[in-house]
Structure 1
């Protein structure tokens, strides 16, 4: 990965101290991060990446809840406690019943600095891969109600186009941001698993703002990234900065942090 690309991405991104010192009542820091269950260095290492980003809302992929791999217990609640992002939800995609034990669950999660008002979870089309979910979450931010669509699309090329089409259809069917009874802003994020600018991804980006497009910094695999598959897109907000977080050991993905003005 080009050092120049990284420097350009970091050049205008305010530090947490700068953020607190400036008068920015309607600036939101939105992040996506595939944590690979925390199996590499544990959940504390994941929480440190989130803490250093000073994110307000974080979409997480590959999260376990009493899952058979990774740390035991409720990883979402643990990360919420470690990061201080007290509002959280877990979105299971796979559930395995275990007699006499807590069911093993695997899926996504969302951490938020602000209260969660609504949650809707829908299955995505599936041909050969494991179940995938699309979650819609409404958050009560200081700027007003903010809508989050988060997902983790299939790694199989034959499954992704239909999933991506459903994602775009849901975004296009949503009310215009700022309209009556509509959210003030909307963010679409997650691990899209799409290494190329496929037709479905081009169609999605055409109706959203993609602050990572100019540099197109790769996000996977973390130790030597060669593809950009983790995205934060937006509607109804002005993108101020985009940053790919430089931690190559906590997960096999690099986190993506964006700054928006609403």
Structure 2
């Protein structure tokens, strides 16, 4: 659908390695779901297989043809990986020239990391938080502590929070507005609100929801979530905004295994 200049649709979707609930591997279903979301920016989780060289589970050669979107440019976990720690961000091609992306290592028992996409009107932080609440708290605290350095004052955090509680474990996000569109897991009979947004209070959330249809329930164990934000990713760069170069390698992180 046509977008007005001040409306940006942000989405998040855990692909579950494109296996549905139990298999087989069928990425064409996930690509159809992504296309139906009609997002400007989408954070994806579990885009790579978990073991060995962690090759891509979502074929990159089909992404633009099927969805009209392109992956944000960064080096993944390995030569054949689409993501870093299983994550990638897709965006509209017209946003790519103004986008900067970097990787942010996160603490915790499992190896985890966030992706930071910086656009002139918005900083998007894509996450797949840990399985233990203590790790999730530490990971969110790290992101908030780094927020001034990684972007400007319009930030949207999104992804699979792995947190079923509506407030417990999210204490570090007190300065942001937490948006939970609805139950998104497990996809065939969604009950838990794992997939969320947390946005700066200066950002107006125009609408939000969960994409729940027959295809989405078959394509992954998560349903995708979306939020329409009143921001313009094409606007002039805010005062004080210092774009970072694209970070392709992080000292000490080369060769580190990702977690799903």
**TM-score normalised according to structure 2 size:** 0.73
Post-superposition Cα deviations, 1:198-247, rounded to whole Å, max 9, x if no partner, equal 5441431x2222343xxx52111111122101112222321010110102
Match for 1:109 among 75, 88, 91? 88
Task: Say whether 1:239 aligns with 2:205.
Answer: yes
Cα 1:186–1:64 change in 2 (3 A) is: same
Alpha-carbon contact 2:118-2:151 (below 8 Å) kept: no
TM-fit CA distance, 1:171 = 3.1
Structure 1 residue 82: Cα displacement:
2.0
1:124 deviates by 1.0
Query: Contact between 1:27 and 1:260, CA under 8 Å: does it hold in 2?
Result: yes
Question: 1:9 matched to which residue of 2?
Answer: none
Give yes or no for contact 1:32–1:256 (8 Å, CA) kept in 2: yes
- Alignment match, 1:170: 146
- In structure 2, the residue matched to 1:25 is 5
Matching of residues 209-220 of structure 1 within 5 Å: 209-212=177-180, 217-220=182-185
CA contact (8 A) 2:140 2:172 kept: no
1:81-230 paired onto structure 2 within 5 Å: 81-89=65-73, 92=76, 95=78, 107-113=86-92, 114-115=95-96, 117-127=99-109, 129=110, 131-139=111-119, 144-171=120-147, 177=153, 185-204=154-173, 206-212=174-180, 217-230=182-195
Is the Cα contact below 8 Å between 1:124 and 1:133 reproduced in 2? yes
Higher strand proportion, which one? Answer: 1
- 5+ residue gaps, structure 1: 1-15, 178-184
Structure 2 CA distance for partners of 1:244 and 1:74, relative to 1, 3 Å: closer
Residues in 2 aligned to 1:104 and 1:56: alpha-carbon distance in whole angstroms? 19
The answer to whether residue 18 in structure 2 is matched with residue 42 in structure 1 is no
Unaligned runs of 5+ in 2: 232-260
Shift of 1:57: 0.3
Change in Cα spacing, 1:103 to 1:50, as seen in structure 2 (3 Å) is: closer
Deviations 1:143-162 (A, max 9, x none): x4421111101123342221
Structure 1 residues 256, 69: CA separation in 2 closer, same or farther (over 3 Å shift)?
farther
Higher relative contact order (CA 8 A, sep 6+): 2
Whether the 8 Å contact between 2:48 and 2:58 is mirrored in structure 1 is yes
CA RMSD of superposed structures (Å): 3.0
Q: How many residues are paired up? A: 219
1:20-56 Cα deviation digits (max 9, x unpaired) = 5xxx221000000000111226221111111111100
